[in-house]
Structure 1
Amino acid sequence: MFNELIQKEKRIAVVGLGYVGLPIALEFARKFRVIGFDINTDRVSMMQRGEDPSREVSAEAFAGADIVFTADPADLKQAHFFVVTVPTPVDDYKVPDLKPLQRASGAIGRALKPGDYVIYESTVYPGCTEDDCLPILEQHSGLKLGADFKIGYSPERINPGDKHRTLADILKVVSGSDAEALEEIAAVYGSIIRAGIYQAPSIKVAEAAKVIENVQRDLNISLMNELAVIFDKMGIDTHEVLEAAGTKWNFLKFTPGLVGGHCIGIDPYYLLYKARQLGYDPQVIHSGRRVNDGMPTYIATKLVQMLLQRGKNPRQTKVLVMGLTFKENVSDIRNSKVADLVRELMKYAINVHLIDPYASPNEVAEAYRMTLMETPSTHYDAVIVAVAHDAYQSLDIAYFKSLMNGTPILMDLKGLYSTTQDDAIEYWRL
């Protein structure tokens, strides 16, 4: 397979062109013939013009790429090596939503031919590729794994907004349905990944490795969030505690904060779901999720308490929230815990204004039924800096005072500013 691909006798198809899929497709297109497929016709049109809808990839990355962008599933029949990078969200009940993965598997199954390869990159629970996706491929193709085609799993590790650790500079884990598949898949990815390839012994191992990467991070942040709540009640600054503790060589430097997005805030639910299917109810993973999901409520309650202490009726206050995306310097608003915070504030009838230089007003309106302002107003009773965008990093206390009334409150959820700059402003951070 690799030799035919590198000689451009066969094509690679990347199915799903979001944060993960588009960079991979363009990287492959430097050496292979590539079909970039996405069901969103508007996004496909932008990419055909050399524009990344997610604003992660520069226009220069499209130049000279041997790639055709399409929303027509019939075009997938021209490919022989399929890479699946569709989202794997959860539903309102925190249950894995496999519909994007199932639809992608069905579309590929209808295009599958003898000798083809299908590699999944979407984050799933161990066993999903072989137990949930493979039957769909076989059903729609009429082919059988091993005898007719091969599969693999190579977990995505792209870090949105990170301009230093790019796709080619992150070690890539690969796995295959048999030894030949593993070698061929490793060769294909190895041609574009400078950091090297790690060959996992099985597909399930690769799936499990990916999901626990984010579970581990989720649990570490949940510990910091729980400590922040405890220290707040003690009147101790959490960041000062972490700075002191961080002087020990083996202390892990995590910080408290809102945990949203399509990875850390979602992936643990996939492992929880699978574990419960097997009759085991994980205590630690579930506890970490409960703590992190509860932080928007805690922060909103804290602000209301601060307002009341200043003699203000929350129903008569106006609050500015700065930042809505799930992390700094990206446009992705999926699973935004800032949106949850805004909803919590609105429960107290607080008038909330929302700004974000990266988020799309249309996407925010559609996803959360919230309105993004272009610029902030004035006379706010409080300002909450929720996301550490570069544009917010250099702001000083004088700027925030200019936005607020005579009794200002600044909530710095990312710990960006100094507590000692101005005693006239009431400053609080996690």
Structure 2
Amino acid sequence: MKLDKNSTKVAVIGLGYVGLPLAVEFGKHFTTIGFDTNKKRVKELSDGVDATEELEKEDILRSKKLSISANVDDLKACDIYIITVPTPIDINKQPDLSPLIKASEMLAPFLSANNVVIYESTVYPGVTEDVCVPILERVSGLVFNQDFFAGYSPERINPGDKVRRLTTIMKVTSGSTPEVADMVDDFYQTIITAGTHKAPSIKVAEASKVIENVQRDVNIALINELHQVFNKLGINTKDVIEAAATKWNFMKLMPGMVGGHCISVDPYYLLHKSENAGFIPDLMRTAREINNGMPNYFANDFLRELILRKINPSECKILLMGFSFKENCPDIRNTKVFELYVVLKNMGLDIEIYDPWVDTKEVLGEYNVEVLTELSPNQIFDVGFLAVGHDCILEDLKGQSLQFSKDFIYDFKHISSS
């Protein structure tokens, strides 16, 4: 099919952190339907309100060719469909493709001649053509690469990042035939100012995405392990990293808890595929074990610090600062702070959580814990535990509007005093 800004109609299925920016940008060029099954989300977006705080009201309303809908019938008569639903893991840390399967089953009845379905969800190599396409064929009755076509262009959204935005991050593209690959690449070039990279196959594009996060997971695991070594040696990890980072090719990372919907999830997709192929990737698996163990490590190290400072853990009131999975972002998906909180509570500690960024109702519904988004002047805490270094929290600490009677803040990244 040929792209025509006057006639090509686009549908983006899933309006979360990935789908919304896509729908908004394509809606500046093509007639675009932004579809989501969450009616509350659709109502808010129709009014220009983005609860994820990724886009401002004017950003959404400026997309003149975009309409937001929760009505599945509005997906009829589109030419290009982009699916951006989550790809989580289950309780056994195995890939959960059910959102992707359901989205494919929902879309399939609306497919018609020459339609292109592009997947952006992070998956292991082969999911698009081996799992999703057969569903599209079976439900629609159409023939793949004859009646309809597929593409894969992995998302590269970085939640909370106000500098690296959708349009300024190079996009990997691919298609199920050489002609479709060219079309998909041209399609994304209409919105991506940073340029595109056309992969030689859908499987290559799928693999390229998943290893982006595997690589980062492994490198963070190394720093987390080194942090534990340096603690044993009585050396400040931040000081070591600052010194090492004076070499041009040193990757500067800090110890931390790896949560969120990407880095802590995606490696399990490649682990699953690798093991099914008969190869056990030890480094990837070990990295996951190290990073998964950090909430427990930090909790125990915090307890050790209290004892060394002669602070009675059973008699001190603790403020756990930060709950979202990363700094300056309201995203609470798979936040490891929850696991940290559970470990601390199970130790019998008196602890409250403070995070001005998060939606308290969302946290209560998802994790069944209460989070303070404001602190009253009469609330007194003995010690602090800085879990997520939101700028607003760091400013409160530096301005001394957040103070602790025992004059101690556990800060494993050493950022509150920098």
Q: Which residue of 2 aligns with 1:110?
A: 109
Which runs of 5 or more structure 2 residues have no equivalent in the other structure? none
1:19 and 2:20 aligned: no
User: Bigger shift: 302-311 or 109-118?
Assistant: 302-311
Say if 1:334 and 1:404 are closer, same or farther in 2 by CA, change over 3 A: same
Give 1:295's aligned amino acid: M
Q: Which residue of 1 aligns with 2:38?
A: 40
* SS of equivalent to 2:174: strand
Q: Which residue of 2 aligns with 1:152?
A: 151
Per-residue CA distance 1:19-76 (angstroms, 9 max, x = gap): 0100000000000000001111100010111111211101111224211111121211
Does the Cα contact within 8 Å between 1:378 and 1:404 map onto a contact in 2?
Answer: no
Does the Cα contact within 8 Å between 1:300 and 1:341 map onto a contact in 2?
Answer: yes
1:382 and 2:383 aligned: yes
Does the Cα contact within 8 Å between 1:315 and 1:348 map onto a contact in 2?
Answer: no
Report the CA distance between 1:301 and its aligned residue.
Answer: 0.7
User: Bigger shift: 382-391 or 293-302?
Assistant: 382-391
* SS of equivalent to 2:356: coil
Q: Which residue of 2 aligns with 1:368?
A: 367
User: Bigger shift: 86-95 or 210-219?
Assistant: 86-95
* SS of equivalent to 1:399: coil
Q: Which residue of 2 aligns with 1:273?
A: 272
Taking the TM superposition and a 5 Å limit, the aligned residue runs for 1:80-95 are: 80-95=79-94
1:404 and 2:404 aligned: yes
Report the CA distance between 1:221 and its aligned residue.
Answer: 0.7
Does the Cα contact within 8 Å between 2:23 and 2:32 map onto a contact in 1?
Answer: yes
Paired residues, what number? 415
Q: Which residue of 1 aligns with 2:341?
A: 342
Aligned partners of 1:95, 1:413: CA distance in 2, in Å? 31
* SS of equivalent to 1:176: coil
Identity %: 46
Aligned partners of 2:43, 2:398: CA distance in 1, in Å? 43
TM-score norm. by structure 1 comes to 0.93
Aligned partners of 1:67, 1:164: CA distance in 2, in Å? 24
Report the CA distance between 1:164 and its aligned residue.
Answer: 1.4
Aligned partners of 1:15, 1:280: CA distance in 2, in Å? 35
Give 2:152's aligned amino acid: Y
Does the Cα contact within 8 Å between 2:54 and 2:159 map onto a contact in 1?
Answer: yes
Q: Which residue of 1 aligns with 2:392?
A: 391
Give 1:389's aligned amino acid: H
Give 1:27's aligned amino acid: E
Report the CA distance between 1:397 and its aligned residue.
Answer: 5.8
TM-score norm. by structure 2 comes to 0.96
Aligned partners of 1:82, 1:57: CA distance in 2, in Å? 22
Aligned partners of 2:72, 2:314: CA distance in 1, in Å? 52
Report the CA distance between 1:311 and its aligned residue.
Answer: 4.4
* SS of equivalent to 2:52: coil
User: Bigger shift: 20-29 or 187-196?
Assistant: 187-196
Taking the TM superposition and a 5 Å limit, the aligned residue runs for 1:297-376 are: 297-376=296-375
Aligned partners of 2:22, 2:32: CA distance in 1, in Å? 10
Report the CA distance between 1:94 and its aligned residue.
Answer: 1.1
Does the Cα contact within 8 Å between 2:360 and 2:373 map onto a contact in 1?
Answer: no
Per-residue CA distance 1:382-408 (angstroms, 9 max, x = gap): 2011112121233446727x6322x33
* SS of equivalent to 2:172: strand
Aligned partners of 2:91, 2:45: CA distance in 1, in Å? 31
Which one of 50, 64, 88 corresponds to residue 52 of structure 1?
50
User: Bigger shift: 381-390 or 83-92?
Assistant: 381-390
Q: Which residue of 2 aligns with 1:3?
A: 3
Does the Cα contact within 8 Å between 1:314 and 1:348 map onto a contact in 2?
Answer: no
Does the Cα contact within 8 Å between 2:11 and 2:78 map onto a contact in 1?
Answer: yes
* SS of equivalent to 1:163: coil
Aligned partners of 2:73, 2:330: CA distance in 1, in Å? 31
Q: Which residue of 2 aligns with 1:418?
A: 417
Aligned partners of 1:93, 1:314: CA distance in 2, in Å? 34
Does the Cα contact within 8 Å between 2:230 and 2:237 map onto a contact in 1?
Answer: yes
Q: Which residue of 2 aligns with 1:78?
A: 77
Aligned partners of 1:316, 1:96: CA distance in 2, in Å? 43
Which runs of 5 or more structure 1 residues have no equivalent in the other structure? 420-430
Aligned partners of 2:62, 2:247: CA distance in 1, in Å? 49
Aligned partners of 1:21, 1:415: CA distance in 2, in Å? 35
Give 1:258's aligned amino acid: M
Q: Which residue of 2 aligns with 1:249?
A: 248
- RMSD of Structure 2 on Structure 1 (CA): 1.6
